[in-house]
Amino acid sequence: MREFDWIAALAERFGRTGPGVTVGIGSDCAVLAPAPATPIVTIDTMVQSVHFDLDYMTWADAGYRAVTTALSDLAAGGADPELPIVAFLSAAIPATVRDEDLAEMRGGMAGAFEKYGVTLGGGDTVAIPGPMVLTCTFIGHAPKPMTRDGAKVGDAVMVAGHLGAAGAAVHLLRNQQARMDDDALLAAYRRPEALIGLGRALADLGATACADVSDGLLADAAHIAEQSGLALHLSLDAIPTHPALAAHPAFDDEERLRLSATAGDDYALVFTVPRDLVGNTVALAARFRVPCVHFGECVEGRPGAIESTWRGEAYTPEKLGYEH
Amino acid sequence: MREFDWIAALAERFGRTGPGVTVGIGSDCAVLAPAPATPIVTIDTMVQSVHFDLDYMTWADAGYRAVTTALSDLAAGGADPELPIVAFLSAAIPATVRDEDLAEMRGGMAGAFEKYGVTLGGGDTVAIPGPMVLTCTFIGHAPKPMTRDGAKVGDAVMVAGHLGAAGAAVHLLRNQQARMDDDALLAAYRRPEALIGLGRALADLGATACADVSDGLLADAAHIAEQSGLALHLSLDAIPTHPALAAHPAFDDEERLRLSATAGDDYALVFTVPRDLVGNTVALAARFRVPCVHFGECVEGRPGAIESTWRGEAYTPEKLGYEH
């Protein structure tokens, strides 16, 4: 191996063309099909032991997760799941990784590619004297792209999806407390799903800004506030903690809140909408079977500043989110 | 540092929008402008000490080179230098790298961005307990995309650009033989240029397949042959060895040939054209001040097979090209 092999092995499973790709693997460049809507692009890098820990998940999980976390960015951008999604993957692979592990990782990626209808556009496989590094560039198409900079003073701040599960799973794994009935938490961490249909529908409805909750709810809300040049007032009492965390005996209320508000890796969507759309938004999310909560307001103030309350008092976590 | 900083620092220099990018750095996805021609995409990963060696080049060189090698792929794909070229950069940065080195690398990249008119679309900065890893995804636009799979039996095989300089520079540096007057060779290695206007013109003229010479002339010609399902007969007597290598006393004729035919990192273009276009092609390359030589034919045979001759005898190098 492996300078030319790993991505090619993934391509073998999917062929050299597909929706959105006229010519894929094999040339200096992939040739894309004409874009059916505005192209949106995300790039994400994951380093072994920093962003994915093989003590806590399988190689297949790591592959699946690399794909769905990139898709989650496309969801936040308003990508249409029916329009082409094209992936470019780069893998820097240490000599110590076994071929069967690489095959397992490919299998995990392939599962996510199939589930979400992703076309492999191209990639690069190189050797590295260090940890494995996986970089995913995904191109989607958004009829109405969403960014982080469109929130307006007076808009409602909302979150759709479950929070805190991945953070709880990491805590349990790290402290060797995970048990048989923690499957739901562990799955949320190891095999996150991307809310890509919901993102597109929120854009249509009129969401003004959106981010996925990868760094942590407060951190990602702050990114929206910063990019939009405003501040946020948030109330954390009703944010949608994952049911398996809400019922879990290993955590007290304050730990549940901290995990839900700051732990990240949840891939929920945090977004802003004009106030009169709050009801419609909750109804829309229900159609996607996702809890959706209005938990704050956009206000004038220092860009990115957040004031949050919990049980009637100011809540100021040590960190807004997780930095790897 | 540096989870969020390094790419943002590069973006500060260029702003959040530019040709081809409606919304860049700051959101989960970049939003691209509608494509003015067929989008073509390349992704390349470079690992410190594997693909760029800071004993042999500065941080600024490494940054410049990362950009121009990606542009060279776009050149081979027929990208139009007048249409938007959008870059997405991911950097995995070890804690041991100094901030001033990162600033220098940004400076090198910025120089190449400005020279070639590249817009920064987005990126990702992460920490790594290992060597620095830089992944570049570039999106260009080709009115007539070129790939490696369009060569036909009977087509002429040609190469445009200088060969062997980068390989010679690495040899001299490795053996501590580099001298003051080796500047031209060292510059060709440290600051390669992309033949991006020429690629577009070759596509217009009717080139049937194209690759850039990153792995080595024979290796990249073999890639075309393999993808196109045919074999090549090549004559290496007249291939355009870099003038500074052709005149260099440290190398004999056979070493010059080996470096020109197999060393790679030259970023010349190897391509195929119908036989009746050979004359026009040489004239076209002359307008770009690039030597251009017809050195072989596409023939029926095992896909990817190459027979090459030098001075009337079969020439079979140990390796067709360089694998890092």
Cα dist. B79→A41, B159, B227, B313 in Å? 19, 18, 20, 38
Judgement on whether residues A172 and A56 belong to the same structural domain of the protein:
no
Q: What is the pLDDT of residue A323?
A: 52
Residue A240 has what pLDDT? 97
Asked if A148 lies within 8 A of B28 by C-beta distance, the reply is: yes
- Note whether A61 and A133 are same-domain residues: yes
- Residues from chain A that touch B22, judged by Cβ atoms under 8 A, are 38, 145
Could you report the per-residue pLDDT of A87-118, keeping only the tens digit for each? Answer: 999 999 999 999 899 999 999 999 999 999 99
Interface test with A, best of B6, B16, B43, B125 (most A CBs within 10 A): B43
Tell me the average pLDDT across A215-228: 95
**Residue A91, in any domain of the structure:** yes
**Residue A146: pLDDT above 60?**
yes
Residues B60 and B179 in one domain: no
Report yes or no: A17 and A109 within 8 Å, Cβ to Cβ. Answer: no
Please state the domain count of chain B. Answer: 2
A77 and B35 within 8 Å at the Cβ level: the answer is no
Question: Do residues B22 and B65 share a domain?
Answer: yes
pLDDT band at B322 (very low <50, low <70, confident <90, very high): low
Contact B47 A90 (CB under 8 A): no
Kindly state whether residues B38 and B118 are assigned to the same domain.
yes
B120 and B169 in a single domain? The answer is no
CATH of the domain at A168: 3.90.650.10
pLDDT surpasses 80 at B14 = no
B324·A127 Cβ contact <8 A:
yes
Per-residue pLDDT tens digits for B209-231: 999 999 999 999 999 999 999 99
From chain B, the residues in CB contact with A22 under 8 A are 38, 145
**A-chain residue closest to B126, CA distance:** A45
Q: How far is CA A24 from CA A6, A10, A123, B50, B204, in A?
A: 15, 12, 9, 26, 21
Asked whether the predicted pLDDT for residue A190 surpasses 50, the reply is yes
Do A40 and B31 make contact, defined as CB atoms within 8 angstroms? yes
pLDDT at B28 over 90: no
Residue B121 with chain A: CB contacts under 8 Å: 41
Rounded Cα distance, A29 and B76, in Å: 8
| A115, A142, A169 - which closes a domain | A142
pLDDT for the residue numbered B1: 36
pLDDT band at A16 (very low <50, low <70, confident <90, very high): confident
Rounded Cα distance, B128 and A265, in Å: 19
Residue B272 pLDDT grade (very low, low, confident, very high; cuts 50, 70, 90): very high
* Whether A120 and A164 share a structural domain: no
Would the CB atoms of B29 and A74 count as touching at under 8 Å?
yes
- Given this model, what pLDDT does residue A4 score? 46
Last residue of a domain, one of B142, B176, B207: B142
Q: What is the pLDDT of residues A279-302, one digit of tens each?
A: 999 999 999 999 999 999 999 999
In contact, B87 and B136? CB cutoff 8 Å: yes
Q: How confident is the model at residue B56 (pLDDT cuts 50, 70, 90)?
A: very high
d(CA B189, CA B178): 13
Residue B320 lies in a domain: no
Would the CA dihedral through A166, A167, A170, A171 be positive or negative?
negative
* Polymer length of chain A: 324
Q: State the nearest Cα–Cα gap between B111 and chain A, in angstroms.
A: 23
Provide CB contacts within 8 A for B268, sequence distance 6+. B159, B160, B161, B162, B163, B195, B212, B213, B217, B240
Closest CA to B109 of B97, B94, B95, B119: B119
Per-residue pLDDT at B64 exceeds 60: yes
Query: Is A121's Cβ below 8 Å from some Cβ in B?
Result: yes
Q: Name the band, by pLDDT with cuts 50, 70 and 90, for residue A275.
A: very high
How big is the CA angle at B133 (ends B131 and B138), to the nearest 5 degrees? 170
Residue B71 lies in domain:
6-142
C-alpha to C-alpha distance for A8 and A122, rounded to whole angstroms? 9
B226, two tokens: 């393999």
Q: Are residues A133 and A163 in the same domain?
A: no
Q: Which of A31, A74, A210 sits opposite B40 (nearest CB)?
A: A31
Alpha-carbon distance of A231 to A228, in angstroms, equals: 9
Mean pLDDT of chain A: 92
**pLDDT tens digits, residue range B186-211?**
999 999 999 999 999 999 999 999 99
Reported as a single tens digit per residue, the pLDDT across B112-153 is 999 999 999 988 889 999 999 999 999 999 999 999 999 999
Residue B45 in contact with partner chain A when CB distance is under 8 A:
yes
pLDDT confidence bin for B35, thresholds 50/70/90: confident
pLDDT computed for residue A322 by the predictor? 60
Closest CA to A93 of A105, A108, A81, A84: A105
CB atoms inside a 10 Å sphere around CB A300: 9
Same domain, B168 and B273: yes
Mean pLDDT, to the nearest integer, of B242-260?
Answer: 95
Inform me whether the C-beta atom of residue A131 falls under 8 Å from chain B C-beta atoms. Answer: yes
Q: Between A and B, how many residue pairs show a Cβ–Cβ distance under 8 A?
A: 231
Average pLDDT of every residue of chain B: 92
B147 occurs within a structural domain: no
Nearest residue to A159 via CA among A211, A206, A201, A204: A211
Asked if A26 lies within 8 A of B127 by C-beta distance, the reply is no
A18 with A119, same domain? Answer: yes
pLDDT at B3: 39
Cis-peptide into B174, omega within 30 deg:
no
B73 and A28: CB-CB below 8 Å? yes
Please compute the mean of the pLDDT values over residues A229-255 and round it to a whole number.
96
Q: Tell whether B215 lies on the interface with A, counting CB pairs under 8 A.
A: no
- A148, B227: Cβ pair inside 8 Å? no
What pLDDT score does A74 carry? 96
Query: Of B107, B142, B177, which residue constitutes the final position of a domain?
Result: B142
Specify if B122 maps to a domain. yes
Tell me whether residue B261 is in a domain: yes
Residues A116 and A174 in one domain: no
> CA–CA separation, A318 vs A288, rounded Å?
33
Looking at residue B323, what is its pLDDT?
A: 52
Q: A66 Cβ partners below 8 Å, 6+ apart? A: A44, A46, A52, A109, A134, A136
Q: Are B93 and B62 in contact (CB under 8 A)?
A: no
Query: Does residue A150 form part of some domain?
Result: no
Three-class SS of residue B280?
Answer: helix
pLDDT recorded at residue B8: 76
Whichever domain contains B55, its CATH number is: 3.30.1330.10
Chain A contact for B47 (CB, 8 A cutoff)? yes
How much of chain A is helix, strand and coil, in % rounded to 5?
35, 25, 40
Cα–Cα distance measured from residue A139 to residue A40, given in angstroms and rounded to the nearest whole number? 6
Interface contact A129-B124, CB threshold 8 A: no
- pLDDT of residue B38 exceeding 70, the answer is yes
Same domain, B266 and B295: yes
What is the predicted pLDDT for the residue at A300?
A: 98
Q: Which residues in chain A are contacts of B130 at CB distance < 8 A?
A: 47, 128-131, 133
Residue B21 has pLDDT above 80, yes or no: yes
Are the C-beta atoms of B233 and B299 separated by less than 8 Å? yes
Closest Cα in chain A to B323? A3
Query: Is B72 among the domain residues?
Result: yes
Q: Is A170 inside a domain boundary?
A: yes
Q: Confirm or reject contact between B127 and chain A (CB < 8 A).
A: yes
Task: Name chain B contacts of A147, Cβ cutoff 8 Å.
Answer: 23, 26-29, 31
C-alpha distance from B321 to closest chain A C-alpha (Å): 12
